[in-house]
Structure 1
């Protein structure tokens, strides 16, 4: 993520800020990728701290995609909703750098159902996932303690709300991209035939989880081509944003990123991946000095890198216009 500047005093402003240190109220415009002043803010600004520009006189682009909010009769859900929407805005701002969901993008938009296990009527079962353009997210996962416990119980190396958003959005992006026969041909050559029975594949996976090996980024990616794609895209978005964030702070190694580098504009996918991994390894080493978990605890074998490069080539809508 970039670091922005206040239009009034040029002080640094971070993505979630609503006010500059100088006292100026700021609003984020995802198309200009800039913090602005004097703009009409989203109707959810006072409710959940949304700092985006209103696009229809009421809601911003991100909040307008939310068709269901969690039961606000349970007070804890307000903060969980706010954190969940924050992760969604971060993801959408990243994707806008590649042209997704901008005014120039004529394609369909996803809809989000943000539900909570904890309602005013008692606990409910919420299953996160994507179906026909609708993404369901369990906002309880925005709780650090809940997410940490589930990560431990499931033996996962990484589990965050932003990670959930990127994974489920990847399913939607595949739905859009699959309208192109060229994409489908390349997809099936690398990821497999997505028409294979999904339910049966998941049953087999949970009964006997596969090993990532040389071709998959995680065990879950082995379950079905849909999940291989979703896991791969989530990691691609992690890596590109990691590299872009490092560049925006001036953090780098002798091998890069160079001053002024834009990870989203780099057409050399292998260069992006290599630099991101090198930065991640360096930060992993620094984290260990503080006895903290690795920033990026994954290995990217050649088979995974090939899939990542394929994804970069197809996700850049800016390059197709």
Structure 2
């Protein structure tokens, strides 16, 4: 994520800040990808601390307008959980806007979100399956509770689990649907990922009954379950790497192997992007280990995995030119 400054005083501010230390209000304008001091606020500014600018002529911002369903905010911790989940959604949408997804210049379909909570006020937690179907994305905001999310991460044997990660994964499914109209996409996809028309439900049942290690071909164990999940996991990891590399350079940090003025979202060379991102990850892993913290990025990019990530990068970063 890029760094931001307050227009009034030029002080460093952060993506979710509502006010600058100088006292001026802050509004994020997603089309300009910049902070403003004056703007028409999203109607959810006070309710869930949304600092985005309202869409012209509308009451909600671009991100909040995508949420068709939200939990009852007067029940339990739902207001706080939705606030955290929507913040993660705004972060991911802002990332994708660097490649012109869901901007004013993008005339394609937008995703619709059902932001659901396990706590409906009935005294008994309901089961929620996160997923994507025909443009509708279901997100379980309960996992915005860090303790719950970490517990489920351990139960499922995952190396990484976050709200930002959930949005990246589910949006990857949506991007797949958008990309299928582009000439050549499906043929290239099937050569790398396999036949996405294979029975999805049967594949998931087999995955949970007979879990497989990721091996050399898959970024995670879940990616082994079906070509659709292999794609979604691959795209999520592409977005992880581009964003942490962009955050590194935007913070003014530098190191050997990272060119001055490097812009990860503008890099058209997939190999170069992955080499630089890997260098940044290794360096920050070393820093985390000095503090006895978990690695920033505990994954190994084999040649096959790199090939898949480069394929996703080429199509997602250049979707408009490729007819998607």
Provide the aligned C-alpha RMSD in A: 1.2
From 180, 190, 193, the equivalent of 2:192 is 190
Supply the distance in 2 between the matched residues of 1:222 and 1:149 (Cα, whole angstroms).
23
Partner of 2:112: 111
The 4+ residue runs of structure 1 with deviation greater than 4 A are none
Supply the distance in 1 between the matched residues of 2:320 and 2:69 (Cα, whole angstroms).
33
From 158, 173, 176, the equivalent of 2:175 is 173
Structure 1 residues 27-106: aligned runs within 5 Å? 27-55=27-55, 56-106=57-107
- The 3-state SS of whatever aligns with 1:42 is coil
- The 3-state SS of whatever aligns with 1:118 is coil
- The 3-state SS of whatever aligns with 2:137 is strand
Write out per-residue CA displacement over residues 1-21 of structure 1, whole angstroms, 9 at most, x where no aligned residue. 011111111111111111111
Q: TM-score, normalised by structure 2?
A: 0.96
Native 8 Å contact 1:97 1:264 kept in 2: yes
- The 3-state SS of whatever aligns with 1:112 is strand
Supply the distance in 2 between the matched residues of 1:127 and 1:22 (Cα, whole angstroms).
43
Native 8 Å contact 2:92 2:167 kept in 1: yes
Supply the distance in 1 between the matched residues of 2:19 and 2:290 (Cα, whole angstroms).
34
Q: What is the Cα deviation at residue 260 of structure 1?
A: 2.4
Native 8 Å contact 1:100 1:317 kept in 2: no
Supply the distance in 1 between the matched residues of 2:167 and 2:319 (Cα, whole angstroms).
22
Native 8 Å contact 1:27 1:53 kept in 2: yes
Q: What is the Cα deviation at residue 31 of structure 1?
A: 1.2
Q: What is the Cα deviation at residue 259 of structure 1?
A: 2.9
Supply the distance in 2 between the matched residues of 1:288 and 1:247 (Cα, whole angstroms).
21
- The 3-state SS of whatever aligns with 2:63 is helix
Q: What is the Cα deviation at residue 274 of structure 1?
A: 1.1
Q: What is the Cα deviation at residue 270 of structure 1?
A: 1.1
Write out per-residue CA displacement over residues 108-139 of structure 1, whole angstroms, 9 at most, x where no aligned residue. 00000000111211221111111110000000
Partner of 1:20: 20
Q: What is the Cα deviation at residue 57 of structure 1?
A: 2.6
Write out per-residue CA displacement over residues 87-107 of structure 1, whole angstroms, 9 at most, x where no aligned residue. 000000000000000111111
Partner of 1:134: 136
From 249, 252, 263, the equivalent of 1:250 is 252
**1:5 and 1:318, CA in 2 relative to 1: closer, same or farther beyond 3 A?**
farther
Supply the distance in 1 between the matched residues of 2:224 and 2:157 (Cα, whole angstroms).
16
From 157, 160, 164, the equivalent of 2:159 is 157
Q: What is the Cα deviation at residue 153 of structure 1?
A: 1.2
Q: What is the Cα deviation at residue 154 of structure 1?
A: 1.2
Write out per-residue CA displacement over residues 181-205 of structure 1, whole angstroms, 9 at most, x where no aligned residue. 3111111111111001001111111
Structure 1 residues 262-301: aligned runs within 5 Å? 262-301=263-302
Write out per-residue CA displacement over residues 154-208 of structure 1, whole angstroms, 9 at most, x where no aligned residue. 1111010000010000000001001123111111111111001001111111111
Q: What is the Cα deviation at residue 73 of structure 1?
A: 3.1
Write out per-residue CA displacement over residues 261-292 of structure 1, whole angstroms, 9 at most, x where no aligned residue. 21101111111111111111111111111111
Q: Choose 229-238 or 11-20, whichever is displaced more.
A: 11-20
- The 3-state SS of whatever aligns with 1:119 is coil
Native 8 Å contact 1:252 1:279 kept in 2: no
Supply the distance in 2 between the matched residues of 1:181 and 1:211 (Cα, whole angstroms).
33
In structure 2, runs of 5+ residues without a counterpart are none
Native 8 Å contact 2:76 2:119 kept in 1: no
